[in-house]
Structure 1
């Protein structure tokens, strides 16, 4: 974990503000560009040492970024250097809205918070929280599926047939539908206000979210999955040890959860949403960052981003 160590010797100045140089903030920027956290912190510490060697008390943010960029180049981090500049332009121009979907237990919450830490995004919202808010304003008599879990929503269907192969998916879709209103409302507000957010949870189903969001460059969809039943079950066991979530309920409904997982993956593939196998948290975070960076790299080129804008 990167701690935000701040020196009281060097002040970074900008047009409208000034602040102490922070190795932690610089390291976070570098991990966003794809550098390993351990390497990023060592590199940031090296930058601080160079500034102290030059006896600098104040440096503009543009001069600092120039030093960082050329230091990356000289240390054979050319790819990281380019991505570092891309992210500086991105965060200056755009809000970043990332939707992380996946069935229960695949790790959407963990990955969302890791991404938020790397990208410096302060707001992470779980779709379960959105559902809970909607429960306070919508009666169970009106939308009974809202009061069930994604894997038990089929019980709230009227006149259901337990022999129906699509029963559990029908319940899941009816469960997702009302929550999407809240998800889309949050996206709209962030786009209007220019704020960044990561929304995570089972209710993020690409095929049910309005097409207009799929065509907005800074709204990025990611889907997590676990193909191994053994690993998936172990995630529930691990989560039960640190929370009040009932392990038995998840394991009893595991076959339904597995069917929902397959449906989400199929839906994501059909809508060209990246599907990431979340076995290793560090590998998943790195892959997600790569997808997000490549998406914004394309946007940056389309907008004619130039190095001089940042250096």
Structure 2
């Protein structure tokens, strides 16, 4: 932790749709008494008008590959990286603001590439990347999420793009592993959230 900064609980949770980011963020907020919980989805909606018709941010992440021609694994990741450069810059600013103000904060986001965060953010934030190893379970969770967290956002549409999401997931996991991010399989939801809470309380999930 940077010298002179107050010890606050700032938590960054990454993962593609359906892995439990929103549910686990809510659980952590309740258990840790954190009042500020932000979603990267809303940050993206805020940014979109600022970019006009620029397809770089206007397209959904599962369609961002179109800027590179054919839908290949490589182009899916390229499109994701392009959008992540914009999103991670905004996320970094939010984290730095929370660090400097000594505020407790949880931010959950699809866009998660730790190399795009400043060293100050990485050194003062608890970082987790969530995934589901079993593809069928992942699909089922996407379809079922309308019953829990996203009441007006049927997961069936997102499940149609599970291939793209899982490509993004695998790339983000690879990058996260290089920055000591805790990578958590949420197949067992109850166990995963207990593990994350314990790591935060013990201070085991900081980069520094």
Q: TM-score, normalised by structure 2?
A: 0.88
Q: 1:148 aligns with which of 49, 59, 68?
A: 59
Question: Which residue in the other structure is 2:139 paired with?
Answer: 233
Counterparts of residues 181-220 of structure 1 (less than 5 Å):
181-216=89-124, 219-220=125-126
SS in 2 for 1:125: strand
Correspondence 1:287 to 2:195: yes
CA distance in 2, matches of 1:122, 1:280: 26
CA–CA distance in structure 2, aligned partners of residues 180 and 151 of structure 1: 17
* Poorly superposed stretches of 4+, deviation over 4 Å: none
CA distance in 2, matches of 1:207, 1:238: 33
Structure 2: segments with no counterpart, 5+ residues: 1-5
- Whether 1:133 and 2:40 are equivalent positions in the alignment is no
Partner in structure 2 of residue 273 of structure 1: 181
How far the C-alpha of 1:163 sits from its partner, in A, is 6.0
Q: In the alignment, is residue 245 of structure 1 matched against residue 181 of structure 2?
A: no
The 8 Å contact of residues 100 and 201 in structure 1, kept in 2 or not, is answered as yes
Change (3 A) 1:135 1:289: same
Q: How far 1:274 sits from its partner (Å)?
A: 0.7
Number of residue pairs the alignment of both structures matches:
199
RMSD, aligned α-carbons: 2.0
Please state whether the residue corresponding to 2:106 is helix, strand or coil.
strand
Residue 98 (structure 1) shift: 0.3
**Contact 1:150–1:202 (8 Å) recurs in 2:** no
Task: Decide whether aligned partners of structure 1 residues 137 and 297 sit closer, same or farther in structure 2, where only a CA change above 3 A counts.
Answer: closer
TM-score by length of 1: 0.60
The CA deviation at 1:151 is: 1.6
Q: Distance in 2 between matches of 1:256 and 1:171?
A: 11
**Contact 2:34–2:104 at 8 Å: present in 1 too?**
yes
**Residues in 1 aligned to 2:73 and 2:12: alpha-carbon distance in whole angstroms:** 29
User: 1:162: how far off?
Assistant: 1.1
